[in-house]
Structure 1
C-alpha cells in the first residue's frame, strides 16, 4: 500500500503520536480505579499493563508490516471485500466510541470544576469544530498537534510531581506485594483502558516513512507513557491514604489544588485548560483514523465520514447526561477495546500468516 511521501511523516514523530494517543483524560482519574482493585500495589499493575502493551504493539507491527498496509487493507486481503468491510466497520466503530468516551469525560470535568451551568452541546460543538479544522488540513497537521500536546501540557504537569514531595508518606507503599495475584490482575484490567490509544498504528502505519525503522519509536512511546502513568500513580499513592484515593473521582485534579503561586491561586483551572490541547490531539487522531477507515471502505471523500463522526460525538454527548451513564459507557467501551485488540488482533495475525503461507504455496 503506497502513500505519497508528501503525506507521510518522519519515523521519530511516531513517538509523539503514540504518547498523544495514550495520554488522555484517564490520566486524571485512573489512580482511583487501580487503587480499588490492587490497593497500593497498583503501580505494579500499571507496569505489567505497559509490558502487555509492548507485546501487543510488537504483534501489531508484525501484522501491518507483513501486509504492508493498514487494518482495512489487511481485512480485505484475509476476509474479502464484503466480510472484510464488515470487520473494518467494527474497528471504525470502536474509534467513534472511544472518541465519544474521551470527549464526554473531558466535558464532565469542565462542567464539574469550572462551568457547572455550561451545556455539553456547546463544549462538544466547539471542540468538534477545532477537530474538523485540524483533520481537514491533513494527517501532517494532526501529527503537529500531537507534538504540541506532548510538549506543552507536560510542562504544566511538572509541578504536580514537585509540590507534593514534602508531604510524601513512603510507608504507604510498604509492604510491597501486599495484595494477591488476582488483585494485581484486576489492577491491570483497570489500567488497560486508560492506556489505550496505541492501536492507532493499525491505521497510520502507511503514513510513516521507513515503516520498519519507526517500530523502535512506537515501543519507546509506550515505554514513556508507561513511566508517566507509573509516576502519576506513585505520586498519588505517596500523597493520599488508600481510603482517600478510593473516594476521589479525579485524584490528579485534587492534587493540583495543592499548587499555589504568588500570582496564581487556582492552578487547577490552568491545568484543565491546558489539558484541552491533549484532548483535541487524541480526538483528532481517533477521528482521523475513523474517517480514513470509512473513506477506504466506502470509497468516498474523507470529509463526509468525518462530518458524520463529528455529529455522532456531539449527539452522543447529549445521551450521556450523568456520571453513572458516563462510567457505564466507559466500562462498556473498555470491554470492546479488550476484545478487539487483546483477543481479535493476535488471532488475525495468526490467520494472516496462514493466509500468506497458503498464497506462497
Structure 2
C-alpha cells in the first residue's frame, strides 16, 4: 500500500475536482421533479439543507481520517472493530459502491435512450459507457484526477447554457411565500437532494493518497461541497421559477425540458447540447464508484486492482440488464438509498465514536 501511495499521489487541488466530479451526475436532471413532490417551491431550501448535512459528515470524515491518515475506509473498519467485523462491514461497503454505480449507469442509459438515442438498445449504450469508464478507472488515481480537472471545465459550458434559459418567462411567485411547504416537507425534499449529492464519501478512499500537508484538506472539501450545493441550488431554483408544480409533476427531466424551449437562428435544441456535454460528468461519477468498489477489496498488487476494475465493470453491465421499468427502478433506488445511508452516514460515525472511546488510532497497533 505504501509503495502505491508514493507513485499514485494527488494534490489538494486535484482532490477538489475529484469530489466535484464524484458528486455531480445524472441525478441533477431529475432532481427538481423529485424535490418538488414534497417541498414544492421550497425545493431550493431543501438542497441547501442537504449541503449542510453533507458538510457535517465531511467534518466527521475529517476527524476519523485524522486518526488514520494512511488508511482507506475499508482498512479503518478492520483497525477499529477487528478483522472479522471489519470484513463484514467491508462487504456492505463494496455492495453499496457497486449498487450505486449500477443505479447511476441505469439512469444514465435511460436518459440517453429517451433524449438522444431512442432506437439504440440499452445494452449497447451500457457497453460503450462502461468500456470508457473501465478504461479510465484502471489508470492511476493521479491520471483519473487530471482527467477530472479537465472535465470540470465543461461545467462552465453547462452554466453558460443554463444562462440562456433566463431569457424565457419566469414566475417568482412559484417559490413564494418562502417556507410555505412546512419544515416537514422541506426536510423530506432534502432527503432527495442528499441522495443526489452522494459521491463525497469517496474522500474516505482519496484521503491516503494526498501528497501535501493534510491540514488544509477540510477547507478544500468544504469549498468543494459549497460549490456543489450552490450549483445544485441554482439549477433547482431556475427550474422552480420556470414551471408550475403541476408541470414539474409531469416532467421526468425538468432541466432538459427547460432548455428544450430555447431556440436561436444558428443554435437549435439547446437541451441536446447540454446533455451531450453532461455525459462527461455523468460518466465521472461511475468512474469514481468503480474506483472505490475496486479499492474496497484491499488488493495488494496493482495488476490485481486492474483485474478487479474489469470484473466490477462486468458486474455493473449485468446490473444494467435489469428491466428499466419505472416501478423496478424506483424499488431498486429505494433499497440502494437505505444501504447508502448505512455506508455513507452510519458506519463512519460509529467508527469515529468507537475509535475515540477505545482510543484507537493508526499507531495503536497493540490495541
Q: What is the TM-score when the length of structure 2 is the normalising length? A: 0.93
Using the alignment, how far apart are the partners of 1:4 and 1:138 within structure 2?
10
State yes or no: 1:107 paired with 2:75.
no
Contact 1:54 1:219 in 2 (8 A): yes
Using the alignment, how far apart are the partners of 2:247 and 2:166 within structure 1?
15
Match for residue 230 of structure 2?
A: 227
Using the alignment, how far apart are the partners of 1:198 and 1:320 within structure 2?
29
Q: CA deviation at 1:211?
A: 2.6
Q: CA deviation at 1:214?
A: 2.1
Using the alignment, how far apart are the partners of 2:293 and 2:301 within structure 1?
12
Using the alignment, how far apart are the partners of 2:161 and 2:276 within structure 1?
15
Q: CA deviation at 1:166?
A: 4.5
Structure 1 gaps, min length 5: none
Contact 1:37 1:190 in 2 (8 A): no
State yes or no: 1:293 paired with 2:296.
yes
Identify the range of structure 1 (21-30 vs 161-170) with the bigger mean alpha-carbon deviation: 161-170
State yes or no: 1:215 paired with 2:218.
yes
Using the alignment, how far apart are the partners of 2:330 and 2:7 within structure 1?
41
Q: CA deviation at 1:160?
A: 1.4
Match for residue 197 of structure 1?
A: 199
Q: Secondary structure at the match of 1:63?
A: helix
Number of aligned positions between the proteins: 361
Match for residue 37 of structure 2?
A: 36
Match for residue 337 of structure 1?
A: 340
Choose from 299, 305, 308 the match for 1:305.
Answer: 308
Q: CA deviation at 1:38?
A: 0.9
Q: CA deviation at 1:4?
A: 3.5
Match for residue 27 of structure 1?
A: 28
Q: CA deviation at 1:300?
A: 7.4
Choose from 170, 173, 189 the match for 1:171.
Answer: 173
Q: CA deviation at 1:216?
A: 1.0
Q: CA deviation at 1:328?
A: 2.1
Using the alignment, how far apart are the partners of 2:135 and 2:222 within structure 1?
30
State yes or no: 1:58 paired with 2:59.
yes
Match for residue 244 of structure 1?
A: 247
Match for residue 15 of structure 2?
A: 14
Contact 1:42 1:187 in 2 (8 A): yes
Q: Which digits, 9 at most, give the CA deviation of each residue in 1:217-250, with x for residues without a partner?
A: 1110000000011111110011111111122110
